Structure 1
């Protein structure tokens, strides 16, 4: 009996010991602002031993193999008060998730930084990554608010995003396109609280992402990664508002996250110029109050939009994602411009007043299927469809002056355009058993067409009698079709663990086919008749075959590739012009050296051929503008562009200083440029100029950019510098004589971000731009423009639930010949937040309080410079109601690995 009792006690003890041995304890550490505390020391103590770890980049810690049901947790973080808690759990428990630990600031401790932790910014060849929890944000902040705080990234007043001086063209979430990659759809709808990292990526396409072989110039894209604890739940944001001048806005954004599945719906109705889905977008509410729409887009716009985004995994091997969007847009724009066109010994000054109304409807479908067949094979299929219908009427009042003549009159252009497009891409990749041995095949095709019905009416007035001197009506029916096919094959053969050879071949076929029927009448009331000289059926093909080889080396500190390519190309048409065969030989090179995790130097050289456009090639004279004709040249050959860039990025973790620099140089051989032929105004001819085309050399452009950011006192203050220098050597011909249009643009911006106290956000900035344009053959149209701007953004939080905010922009312009405007734009708002989590707010907004909003732009190309001004959304007031609702359960099955890197705050 005693033996039986002892045996039972032994079995019970062993069972209890086994249960305790398998116990896992997890937890998360945050500060009082709900930000994760990184690198905090976490100590678990039992009666027999003590275990030590630290929190990872998400503030999460984990202990395994805990043998005691009773233990204590002690949390220590530099700059925080120590927290200690004791726990007792069931001996049979196998997993325990502790309630979050909230650390309070310790004012007595010194502000120190330990430099052996995870940096806020990391650099990895083509990717720059920002850690979101390193930046302090308020409740309901959006991704756009976060981007404004990231060094090297800028968000302008219209919501456009640039990174390292280059426009961001696409946004992805967890590596997948979101609403087709629309930038503003993502930045102005996604809450910053669900994001873990922001990645700035130089994207060379899907094939390059798989093979690592990069050709051509990269697109700048952003990738948002979602926090693990926000990967399961839903969120809803909405706004409804009304104001004077019959202004209204309403939008809703709904999103659901269920681990691998993502669903989103976005709708928008407004007449405040707030566009979405690949159109210029403005604010749609949320925590901001600077503007209710895009007040800086030209004209007045009514917008109705709806879109749906989908992502899911169909089993373990297939991922599907895509979107559909529809936009109805009604825009009315009134503008004026002064266009100066150089002749050999004359200047044509074309003063225009333009009244345009445009109604458009656009549908777009993008979808992606990724099939991971097995560990060695991958397939991606990407179909896309779009359809657009555009109706516009454009009334133009012109007054053209030269040193000797003057003409004025009106033209009316009625357009009905339909643009159906479809295409797709197939990518297949096979990895052989040997390391780095890889075969990749990529094929893409697209078909686009434009059907246009144009009614052009032109009247030239006699400056003496006031009677109509010349009348012209043109009915133009055009059907332009473009078909493109591309195939690329890449094979990589490893030489060693760090070296390989890559062989590639690319085939490109582009066909442009245009049917154009023109009917003319030169007397009012007479039915237009067929004009054989302007009507035309023209087809041209551009075919390229590119053969290349690259030698690539990937070491821990550096990587480089050296390559050589040969590209024969042929341009042929259905005219009597013989086929034009050209072979381009060019090297390619890339080099990247990584000094550290946050410091890198890279160099790139590439070459590419560009075919002329249909307008430049068609062998007819287009007289759809009665005074400025265009004649194509079917003898043109393709251009060839050489591109080089040097980039240096450095994030100094110890000081927090961030420096981005980039220098690029492009030169184009056989550049397709204009030859402007001038005609005197006579009694039987009022044609002023005719643009013809030819190939020439001498075109180049140099672009330099830098951005420097320096934080002070734990990012309470941040000083930002941004500068650029652009020099364009434009080539044009004036009456068959070569002219160099030299355009220099210098820009410098200084900004100061203040977050010293929790109740105030204060961001002043100043910008200076210098724009000089000179011509070698005629100096009469030379221009030197100066623009000095000051801006101020501020938010004041008071009485816990009230916000007062606004922004001010003042510009001083000089050098404009006919327009003198120095607007002062002031916007302001007062917001009251409701409920404990501030998920709703009522906001009173005032836009352009002084009623001075207008546009002003200067552009110089070739022998032509244009100064333009147009109407914009001006002063109005609006009351709006905003709500934010979200609920996330987290994903307990996806606890991130505990890293050894630490950063103390």
Structure 2
């Protein structure tokens, strides 16, 4: 804590020195919009006077700020491709800041049909946004947004449609600022055609409160906002496809959109057993899904967006795992507990999701937003498998079967209200988050253990039924008041209260001769509550290049638990002083850096707290610890962005450091004479993690026909565990380096060659344990070639070469997927497609996970070879 306090004071001193020495001459602020009032990101604004001349590119929200103007009288111009230019003279009569009226550019009447794409700024970076101009990344007619995303630097789209930007997963899609298909990103990017998109904006979203106050703390949510071209806001489009293949494979889908101004209705339906979207994912999945999304602006005051999704997934996953558990005996000699296991899991899950947002601009000073969310799911599953555990001269074979049934309900409502006072910058806001969950889980398990040591052999049979019910009610409420001090400085006071109350009950029955007998030692009723109060003070400075926020928070926390079955109550109280800071510096309009620090609590889970034993697996009996304290996590992250708008060169880099006080870790104690172990939990210090990644993308020609990309990532985790009361630190280092080369030749080919090397190394604080290392080299090519106008060939080839993994039948899988598509009918409305998936029939997943003193190597089945013939039909009409 002393280190962070000193850093905080030093950071505050530097910030004060900068703000005191950054006097400006004149500052000009404004916005550039089209005639519909929408921003024109990338528009160029220039200022000319008798003494100087300078230019700037407009931000994604249409705003611009130009500082260090030396003359009160000047001429300002604004230009954007496809629009008439704007020129006007201004005079600053009072003060040193002038906010001009919004500049609205009209579409040019003599715009040429063929627009020179090289004149469009392809990439724009700001403090929290990386924006791409869709025209600079053209794709084929009929392609969806996912094909554009594959071309963007720093963006990855996997085979199941999951999107990551700068290494962070994109959790939500918005269209013109409104939520689109909830959190179903994969459906959203397939639902919109690429040629109606104007800009793709990757935003670090800190929430509604941060948008209004600028006070940004915590981990942002990565959101992709898609803006639609003005001439495409009226019309409709739809796409239907049906495919049949060998091995009883099928894949059908129907999706469409209707647009009329700000009103948009979208739907999507899928029925397939070819592993949903791209053939990826563990096991073999059959999916039936349907969703609808609606958004509209009923007036300048009221807008609404909402959606409903239904999913039914049936999955069969067959896996083998090899687990190495590194222990020590009473003399600190190494003991290796090795487990070789296999399992066959079948699950059938149903879910319903309903949610949305209602925004009401009561008047010019009051704003209200209500966001309800409802989720209900149910499912059943079965599992069968076995394992062999080896420890010294002991051998235990376990054969098990189980079945389970789940029923889960969750609701959440977020309410946000903001009031702006007549004095500019003075602001008051309130928020409240209410959530409720009800989870039920019934599990029937059968286990047989056969123990062998030398000539001695015995067996144990266990049959149990566990019924578990958990209910949680959470409430969070808070308020924030912001007061301007001077023109560029603000102070904010905030308070938040949070309470989470959980009720748990577990009934365990032993089954013998078909009879169920309650086991009171394994049954329990346990409730716990977690309450925090946080009071904070923040100081914010807004400059032309430098923006910073420094603050301090005081947060007492109380974690209390009641073991109602045994009449035991425990209470743990903690108090934290949490300095916070955010530093953002814009070196140029193309280069920025931001650094953040914040702290947060993390409460233990129910199974970690419940003071009874779970012996459903006799080889690993787990007992909770009701005396656990909540963790406290210190986080520092940094983001660097650089973009050359003309050449399209992009450099993105991220860094993150976390240190956890009172980290909740596992304790494991061996049961003498057996391979069994007793697992529990304890608080300890010493855990930290470092993560970093970078991405560099550089076009090799002005037309961006050839692009080279370098990317890499690395992380270091210092894991802590206790075995037989001995503390063991396990350092896990993992890194990956990748090289990409992309070719985009219009009407000839679009493909990407990719190669990467990764390594995973684990070392231990005890010399008794040897280091463990695995390596992976991977290369491949993915793309499409075009023949004539209507015929295209698609391919996706990858090869993995793995070493250091301790299980798996297919160590170095080679994957190949080929497809051919022919378009016909007027405007290419129809297409016929044939594809072959996993032609070498080697599709399998190989992974390594490191947890404390445990290494788990896993191989899992994935969708195998099949061939499919599909018919695709599209209709569309815009404008008019």
Q: Matches of 1:237 and 1:466 in 2, distance apart?
A: 67
Q: Which runs of 5+ in 1 are unaligned?
A: 1-25, 28-35, 40-52, 65-94, 106-110, 275-281, 283-293, 891-905
Name the residue aligned to 2:220: 218
How has the CA–CA distance of structure 1 residues 844 and 55 changed in structure 2, closer, same or farther, with 3 Å as cutoff? farther
C-alpha deviation, 1:578, in angstroms: 3.9
1:354-410 Cα shifts (integer Å, max 9, x gaps): 011101110010021111100000001111111100101111211111122101021
Name the residue aligned to 1:385: 374
How has the CA–CA distance of structure 1 residues 196 and 475 changed in structure 2, closer, same or farther, with 3 Å as cutoff? same
Name the residue aligned to 2:601: 609
SS of residue matched to 2:827: coil
1:876 aligns with 2:866: yes
Q: Matches of 1:485 and 1:104 in 2, distance apart?
A: 53
Q: Which residues of 2 match residues 504-583 of structure 1 at below 5 A?
A: 504-521=494-511, 525=513, 527-575=515-563, 576-583=568-575
How has the CA–CA distance of structure 1 residues 636 and 97 changed in structure 2, closer, same or farther, with 3 Å as cutoff? closer
Name the residue aligned to 1:103: 114
Mapped contact 2:120–2:136 kept (Cα < 8 A): no
Name the residue aligned to 1:691: 679
How has the CA–CA distance of structure 1 residues 578 and 37 changed in structure 2, closer, same or farther, with 3 Å as cutoff? closer
Q: Matches of 2:400 and 2:455 in 1, distance apart?
A: 19
1:709-739 Cα shifts (integer Å, max 9, x gaps): 0101120110000001100111111111111
1:254 aligns with 2:256: yes
Q: Matches of 1:100 and 1:828 in 2, distance apart?
A: 41
Name the residue aligned to 2:828: 838
Cα-Cα RMSD: 2.4
Q: Which runs of 5+ in 2 are unaligned?
A: 1-33, 36-40, 45-76, 88-105, 329-333
Matched pairs, number: 780
Name the residue aligned to 2:663: 671
Q: Which residues of 2 match residues 293-692 of structure 1 at below 5 A?
A: 294-344=278-328, 345-463=334-452, 469-521=459-511, 525=513, 527-575=515-563, 576-682=568-674, 688-692=676-680
1:888 aligns with 2:878: yes
How has the CA–CA distance of structure 1 residues 559 and 118 changed in structure 2, closer, same or farther, with 3 Å as cutoff? farther
Q: Matches of 1:362 and 1:628 in 2, distance apart?
A: 32
Mapped contact 2:282–2:862 kept (Cα < 8 A): yes
Give 1 or 2 for the bigger CA radius of gyration.
1
Q: Matches of 1:257 and 1:62 in 2, distance apart?
A: 30
SS of residue matched to 1:146: helix
Q: Matches of 1:455 and 1:569 in 2, distance apart?
A: 38
> Higher RCO, 1 or 2 (CA under 8 Å, sep at least 6)?
1
Mapped contact 1:171–1:181 kept (Cα < 8 A): yes
Name the residue aligned to 1:866: 856
How has the CA–CA distance of structure 1 residues 96 and 328 changed in structure 2, closer, same or farther, with 3 Å as cutoff? closer
Mean alpha-carbon deviation: is it higher for 322-331 or for 118-127?
A: 118-127
C-alpha deviation, 1:745, in angstroms: 0.5
Name the residue aligned to 1:184: 186
Q: Matches of 1:863 and 1:796 in 2, distance apart?
A: 49
Mapped contact 1:343–1:778 kept (Cα < 8 A): no
Q: Matches of 2:107 and 2:540 in 1, distance apart?
A: 49
Mapped contact 2:121–2:648 kept (Cα < 8 A): no
1:745 aligns with 2:747: no
Mean alpha-carbon deviation: is it higher for 482-491 or for 155-164?
A: 155-164
Name the residue aligned to 1:754: 743
1:195-218 Cα shifts (integer Å, max 9, x gaps): 111111111122222322222111
Q: Matches of 2:269 and 2:120 in 1, distance apart?
A: 39
Q: Matches of 2:205 and 2:710 in 1, distance apart?
A: 26
How has the CA–CA distance of structure 1 residues 580 and 383 changed in structure 2, closer, same or farther, with 3 Å as cutoff? same
Of 152, 162, 171, which residue of structure 1 is paired with 2:164? 162
Structure whose residues are more often strand by fraction = 2
Name the residue aligned to 2:129: 127
Name the residue aligned to 2:241: 239
SS of residue matched to 1:103: coil
Mapped contact 2:530–2:603 kept (Cα < 8 A): yes
Mapped contact 1:394–1:412 kept (Cα < 8 A): yes
C-alpha deviation, 1:888, in angstroms: 1.0
Q: Matches of 2:678 and 2:766 in 1, distance apart?
A: 18
Q: Matches of 2:516 and 2:539 in 1, distance apart?
A: 63
How has the CA–CA distance of structure 1 residues 400 and 559 changed in structure 2, closer, same or farther, with 3 Å as cutoff? same
C-alpha deviation, 1:230, in angstroms: 0.9
Name the residue aligned to 1:196: 198
C-alpha deviation, 1:460, in angstroms: 1.1
C-alpha deviation, 1:237, in angstroms: 1.3
Mapped contact 1:296–1:855 kept (Cα < 8 A): no
Name the residue aligned to 2:57: none
1:490-541 Cα shifts (integer Å, max 9, x gaps): 11001122110000001110111101111124xx526231111110000010
Mapped contact 2:807–2:859 kept (Cα < 8 A): no
C-alpha deviation, 1:579, in angstroms: 1.7
Mapped contact 1:387–1:421 kept (Cα < 8 A): yes
Mapped contact 1:473–1:528 kept (Cα < 8 A): no
Q: Matches of 2:408 and 2:159 in 1, distance apart?
A: 31
